[in-house]
Amino acid sequence: MAGEQANRVYVGNLDWKVSWQDLKDHMRTAGDVMFADIFQDFHGRSKGAAIVEYRTPAEASRAVQTLHDTTLGERMIFVREDREAVKTKGKGGGFKGGFKGGFKGGGKGGYGYKGYGKDAAPLRVGPRDKGRLVYCGNLPFRCSWQEIKDVFKQYGKVISVDIAQDFDGRSKGYASVLMEKEDEAEAAIAALNEQDFQGRNMMVRLDNFL
């Protein structure tokens, strides 16, 4: 990585109640934190992931080595190098635009999606999908959309599975799953949230994007 990106780390599995200041205070044990931006939905609610920028690449590397699998709030976070160039500045919570652009087609925010659906296209959702779109986080980076579909189809018909990806086509550790019916989505959430999936406890809830 070069430039600012080498100074950044990606933090996942954040407790929804953790603020950018809480995150910054936790991450500064590894070095001088320049900013901490928590991904947000359109309503300003945490998506459970963030980007943290340090003053130097060495501090970012130290964060990955020392803060991965540490507890913040009521969850154990995971920390890895940031794999995409994301232009975001500020002290916290400023990531709305990046998620919106990528979700609609992998553009502005540097997000791409790979998965199962009509014509293998990025998942496009609207108001009619409210209650059926499920956010699935803390996923193993090597899991496939088919493996996610196999888990969810136990609770109903899966319309589409889209795994968020960085510019290099690598998983960001979370996905969106569109179920055919609301009660199927609710059943999947009730059964799968906090359950082990390939060594990680999945976070499964209704997606707040809509």
Tens-place pLDDT, residues 1-14: 445 568 899 998 89
Q: What is the pLDDT of residues 122-161, one digit of tens each?
A: 445 567 788 999 999 888 888 888 999 999 999 999 998 9
pTM as predicted: 0.48
Q: What is the mean pLDDT of residues 17-31?
A: 92
Mean pLDDT rounded to a whole number for the chain:
78
DSSP track, the chain? --GGGGGEEEEES--TT--HHHHHHHHGGGS-EEEEEEEE-TTS-EEEEEEEEESSHHHHHHHHHHHTT-EETTEE-EEEE--S-----SSS---HHHHHHHHHHS-TTS-EEEEESGGGPPP---GGGTTTEEEEES--TT--HHHHHHHHGGGS-EEEEEEEE-TTS-EEEEEEEEESSHHHHHHHHHHHTT-EETTEE-EEEE-TT-
Tell me which residue has tokens 């300003």: 44
- Is 69 within 8 Å of 77 (Cβ atoms)? yes
Please report the pLDDT score of residue 164 as a whole number: 85
pLDDT at residue 168, as a whole number: 67
Give the integer Cα–Cα distance in Å for 42 and 29: 31
Confidence of residue 165 (pLDDT cuts 50, 70, 90): confident
